[in-house]
Amino acid sequence: MYLTGTYDRNLDAKGRLSLPPAFRKQFDEQVRVLPAPEKELDALYVFTEDTFKAWLDDVFRAKGGYDPTNGEHRMVREALNGQAATLDIDSAARISLPEPYRAQAGLDREVTIVGNGDRLVIWDRAKHEARQAAVKNVLANFFD
């Protein structure tokens, strides 16, 4: 699975998000959702169960691998697993985003969903649009 594309959506009054058709076939009946742990990101990550496990392994691989005797590693792993809510995808291909997660990511009604390889990233639309100016500069410099 490799997710790409950018889609604008609106959350309904109950905080439900309709998945774009391009992504519906990529997911089974459930997803794992958690607030992006990076301090500079006000967004939500959406994974399949398998891609969540692989991402979590990659987080620790970057630190030399998960060490169960390391207290910090145990805390981080527990925090990430604890924040990863398992959400059902309903018959209308919607997920109900928990209110605390919406609040933490600053999501109100208008959101943008970005396919980012192994996950979806859900942004507040205005924040995503503002971020695009910085992204253009980074891309221009990256390919110089």
* Contacts (Cβ under 8 Å, ≥6 apart) of 27: 19, 48, 89
Distance, CA of 21 to CA of 23 (rounded, Å): 5
* pLDDT at residue 28, rounded to an integer: 86
* pLDDT at residue 137, rounded to an integer: 86
* pLDDT at residue 102, rounded to an integer: 96
* pLDDT at residue 18, rounded to an integer: 96
Q: Output the pTM of the full model.
A: 0.91
Mind giving me the DSSP string for 11-42? --TT-EEEPPHHHHTT--SEEEEEE--STT--
Lookup: tokens for 144: 């110089």
Residue 32 CB neighbour total at 10 angstroms: 22
Q: Which domains does the chain have, with CATH numbers?
A: 6-142 (3.40.1550.20)
Distance, CA of 23 to CA of 60 (rounded, Å): 27
Q: What is the pLDDT of residues 55-108, one digit of tens each?
A: 999 999 988 999 999 999 999 999 999 999 999 999 999 999 999 999 999 999
Evaluate whether 35 touches 101 at the Cβ level (below 8 Å): yes
